[in-house]
Amino acid sequence: MNRPTVASREEWLAARISLLAEEKAITHRLDELAAKRRALPMVAIDKEYVFEGPTGRTTLPELFDGRRQLIVYHMMWRWDLDAGCPSCAMLLDNVGHLAHLNAQDTTFAAVSRGPWETLDRYRERMGWTFPMYSSFDSDFNYDFHVTQDESRAPVEYNYRTKAELEARGHSYHGAGEQPGTSVFWRDDDGAVFHTYSSYGRGGDILIGTHQYLDLTPLGRQKHVGEALHHDSYGKAESHCH
């Protein structure tokens, strides 16, 4: 176990003030990045995507629930577990009270390729109350590069081609289910646009548990891929691939 060294209060304060300068610099840089993210152009969604949810079949515009903005978390479906990926589940466990997003004209929803009946049972097991939909019979996952199948769409993940992924030793991102986050905008006439997507560690900022642990001496302790479903700690369960 990595235990911090012991120092006097004066030595600790000097080190803390030095670190504070770095923290402030990063905070300002993150503000700048957020402004650039908001300024990205957007692309019209011309294809009709159909999902299945608690009220039956629904479309992408309907996922907005009457609001201007939609954030979609692409949850990996683990066919071997007949459940969602444990690491994705950890992220979704950190979704806060949606009233705060809704008040900002924004809807949050999780989308996964798991068949709806199985996905709904999994949602109940996890105790989640946010909107969740199945994209099982849709091109949605393929078009947004979170399900890799060359017979459906060219392999691409985190804006890299299959060849680029293989060259970097990341060929595991070129097959099967992958995580991601996508953002959409809806005009008054109902037209929908894609504004942003992030993949891989881009979703790390959404995991409040990690942000809390980063404040502590022990940090995250485990690799993100070692996360378990919250009802499986102390039990044997396969980790995310």
Residue 223 pLDDT > 70, yes or no?
no
Q: CB of 148 within 8 A of CB of 141?
A: no
Q: What region does 159 belong to: left with phi over 0, alpha with psi -120 to 50, or beta?
A: left
Longest dimension (CA), the chain: 64
How many residues are present in the chain? Answer: 241
| pLDDT at position 241 | 46
User: In the predicted model, what is the mean pLDDT of the chain?
Assistant: 93
How many helices (H) and strands (E) in the chain? 8, 14
Please state the rounded mean pLDDT for residues 98-123.
Answer: 97
Beta strands per DSSP E along 48-191: 50-53, 56-59, 69-74, 77-78, 83-84, 106-112, 132-134, 147-148, 156-157, 160-161, 176-177, 180-186
Phi, psi of 86 (to 5 degrees): -60, -35
Give the confidence band of 221 by pLDDT, cuts at 50, 70, 90.
confident
Report the alpha-carbon distance of residue 155 to residue 228 in Å, rounded. Answer: 28
Relative to beta strand 106-112, strand 132-134 is: parallel
Number of Cβ within 10 Å of residue 238's Cβ equals 12
Report how far residue 175's alpha carbon sits from residue 225's, in angstroms, rounded to the nearest whole number. Answer: 17
- 61-86: average pLDDT: 96
Question: What does the pLDDT look like over 135-180, one tens digit per residue?
Answer: 998 999 999 999 999 989 999 999 999 999 999 999 889 898 999 9
